[in-house]
Structure 1
Amino acid sequence: NCQSTCGPHMGPFIRLRPEEAADDDLPEFEALTGQFGLLPFWAKDRKLGRQTYNARSETASTKPSFRSAWKKGQRCVVPASSIYEPDWRSGKAMPTRITRTDGGVMAIAGLWDQWKAPDGQIVHSYTMLTINADSHPFMKAFHKPNDEKRMVVILANGLIKDWLNSSVERTSDFMQPYPADRLMVDIRPG
């Protein structure tokens, strides 16, 4: 189990370019590499990120780990070719690769933050937002029996710019399930 022995997992995320870095010659958005697992300003070290890979959209505005990023409107998109969920239908967890049926990149709604490490280094980090999936025709098949079913918020391609530019008050409007007929179990090696 890598949770206790591996260093932080790093990956890409896309955010609005900060206003102080705005330049007519630069794109409106920027891609950064950050730690997967959000680190709020008060984190003592990077280990907290092991508990903040996902943020429940229903409570992100109030949970200490996420509320600052939520209230500041620090939204991001986490690009992913696939996600993995445990399929318990056989009686034990089978890691299952899920992709979009059209083969496109998933744009997962997330939050980002930055944290100052004890050595002074600025570390960017991010989390993926999740919603309840108990009644989702596809995603309800995953996670332990009798546990609440959850899924990441996958944005339709046409909503990416809207998500990144939305007001804090409208953030919850985007917490919608991705259509079941646009997701599939991908049996190719990942």
Structure 2
Amino acid sequence: MCANYRPSSPEDLAAFPLPPPGFAYAEAYPGAIVPIVTNYAPRMWVPACFGLIPAWARDTKIARSTYNARSESVGEKPSFRRAWLRGQLCIIPAAALYEPCYETGKAVRWRIERDDGKPMGIAGIWERRQQDDGLPQWSMSMLTVNADGHPLMGRMHKPEDEKRSVVILPHDAWGSWLRCRSEEEARHLLTAANDPTLRASPDQG
């Protein structure tokens, strides 16, 4: 699970056309507006709410519980079903993820990032709606998979909790993810991160 991350900086994303300014690239929590790239607009970063807001939602409070979507049940849950079944896939660029590690007996915030400093591409789903109701036009949720036994993600969260991980796409799979044309294609890419360049350490702030 991931409820806190640092979006990639504008400099990291400079090779792509960016949306107009006006939303933060700072550390993000559910409800924050962050950059994503979608298979609807694959050549443009768009500002999206961190936490998917389905068409029937009346306010942004739902983002507090829709920021992650379990890949095993994403096609069944009312909040996510429409986006998943319509193949609305996105990539969320992240400079770092933050997760609690309990190996010392208490929660210690750890930072997970690539050791080469490049953005991590997290697989997600998106929703888009008319803005006449005042809600964000774009919103997204990060897809997660089971991470029991994973050498890195399996160390996070409480010992008794199920281990979960967001899906960090290999760099050469970003295009493949956005070009998926079936549920089978998409599920083939939904695996726990096996990137050897990932590193984790207690966050020093």
Q: Taking structure 1 as the reference length, what is the TM-score of the superposition?
A: 0.85
- Rounded Cα–Cα distance in structure 1 between residues aligned with 2:30 and 2:170: 32
1:16 CA displacement: 2.4
| Pair 1:110-2:124 in alignment | yes
Tell which deviates more after alignment, 41-50 or 177-186: 177-186
What's 1:61 paired with?
A: 75
Q: Deviations over 1:128-168 (max 9, x none)?
A: 00000011111111011111001100000100000001113
Q: Taking structure 2 as the reference length, what is the TM-score of the superposition?
A: 0.79
Who wins on radius of gyration, i.e. which is larger?
1
Does the 8 Å contact 2:90/2:126 carry over to 1? yes
Does the 8 Å contact 1:134/1:149 carry over to 2? yes
- Rounded Cα–Cα distance in structure 2 between residues aligned with 1:184 and 1:120: 40
- Rounded Cα–Cα distance in structure 2 between residues aligned with 1:87 and 1:7: 20
Q: Quick one: which amino acid aligns to residue 181 of structure 1?
A: P
Count, aligned residues:
176
What's 1:176 paired with?
A: 191
Q: Deviations over 1:101-147 (max 9, x none)?
A: 22211000000002345635652100100000011111111011111
1:157 to 150, 155, 171: 171
1:189 CA displacement: 4.6
What's 1:94 paired with?
A: 108
What's 1:3 paired with?
A: none
What's 1:14 paired with?
A: 37
- Rounded Cα–Cα distance in structure 1 between residues aligned with 2:105 and 2:203: 22
Does the 8 Å contact 1:130/1:153 carry over to 2? yes
Trace 1:26-175 onto structure 2 (pairs within 5 A): 28-116=42-130, 119=133, 123-169=137-183, 170-175=185-190
Does the 8 Å contact 1:54/1:130 carry over to 2? yes
Q: Secondary structure at the match of 1:160?
A: helix
Q: Secondary structure at the match of 2:118?
A: coil
Ranges in structure 2 where 5+ consecutive residues have no aligned partner: 1-28
- Rounded Cα–Cα distance in structure 1 between residues aligned with 2:186 and 2:85: 10
- Rounded Cα–Cα distance in structure 1 between residues aligned with 2:156 and 2:165: 9
Ranges in structure 1 where 5+ consecutive residues have no aligned partner: 1-5, 19-27
Does the 8 Å contact 2:145/2:164 carry over to 1? yes
Pick closer, same or farther for the CA change 1:83–1:121 going to 2, 3 Å: closer
- Rounded Cα–Cα distance in structure 1 between residues aligned with 2:71 and 2:173: 17
